[in-house]
Amino acid sequence: MSNKPLNPLELYKHLPKTNCGRCLLPSCLAFAAAVVSGDKKLTDCPFLIKEQLEQLSTGLQPRSKIEPDQVEFLNQLQEKIRSIDFEEIAPIIGATHRNDELIINALGKDFTIDRQGKIRSECHIIPWVTAPLLAYATNPTHQEITGTWITFRELQGGLDWQGLFTSRCERPLRQLADDHPTLLSDIIDLFMGKETEAFEADIALTLYPLPHVPLLICYQAPEEDLDSKLTIFFDACCAVNLHIQSIYSLCAGLIQMFDKIAQRHI
Ligand code: SF4
């Protein structure tokens, strides 16, 4: 095995692929994603033999290594922002430019990025928004909103992150919506969302976590013996405007924030 860290798809290839659920996750792919993110251990799958455990564990990053990587990633983005022409980039990415600062609206709130890559906002700066905001502003390619909605797995690179996206984003949000029936309507009010009739769902709402990164949440409430269903769609431009990892981070952060809102205010 190479020294390169394992990604969920590579790890999945080594699993039994029976989706038996003994690891307390619904599928081997979800297990692979959870192991890579540090939320599960290889030994939680009872079917991996000693040799496999030894071989696979060399490709996994210890949890403690993940944080410094993120710090390094942020440092790189802050370095990059110093060379960006704010005046030129602002209209392209749907931002405004004032006093050599870039102002980006996210979920109805203004976030101001200064020359050093520091962010300030009218509201509390939520750590998960920092890296995606800087990544969005420093992305060299950009596409206008297309109006075509696609699933996470259809985004470029989405397949590799699908397991994690399902377990950290779609599934917990579905559970929150089941437990707090007014949550999605409250999100519309709190974050300048828009309800849309275009989809067959009990509630379909669009949100703009970044100006040109729209997402659409479609929720079908449980009915008699049918489980509820929730899918998050993305405009086809999203994967051009933001790297898949940042899209995932943005969504995972959003769901954590919705969870806090549900616990505190609803
Ligand atoms: S216990 Fe192993 S085989 Fe069963 S679902 Fe989990 S990873 Fe797959």
Question: Distance from the CA of 211 to the center of ligand 1, in angstroms?
Answer: 40
Q: Each residue of 150-200: pLDDT tens digit?
A: 999 999 988 888 888 888 899 999 999 999 888 888 888 888 888 887 677
Q: How big is the CA angle at 248 (ends 236 and 181), to the nearest 5 degrees?
A: 90
Higher pLDDT, 167 or 216: 216
* 85 part of a folded domain: yes
For ligand 1, atom 4, which residue shows the shortest CA distance?
Answer: 20
Domain end: 109, 138, 167, which one? 138
* 2 part of a folded domain: no
Q: Are 176 and 258 in contact (CB under 8 A)?
A: yes
* 143 part of a folded domain: no
For ligand 1, atom 7, which residue shows the shortest CA distance?
Answer: 28
Identify whether residues 98 and 172 lie together within a single domain: no
Q: Are 194 and 206 in contact (CB under 8 A)?
A: yes
pTM for the whole structure = 0.70
Q: Each residue of 231-249: pLDDT tens digit?
A: 999 999 998 999 898 899 8
Identify whether residues 26 and 79 lie together within a single domain: no
Where in the sequence is the domain holding 224, given as residue range(s)?
149-265
- Mark out the alpha helices in 109-243 (DSSP H runs): 127-138, 158-165, 171-179, 183-190, 238-241
User: What is the count of structural domains for the chain?
Assistant: 3
Question: Distance from the CA of 40 to the center of ligand 1, in angstroms?
Answer: 11
Among 106-110, 121-125, 258-262, the range scoring the smallest mean pLDDT is 121-125
Question: Distance from the CA of 110 to the center of ligand 1, in angstroms?
Answer: 44
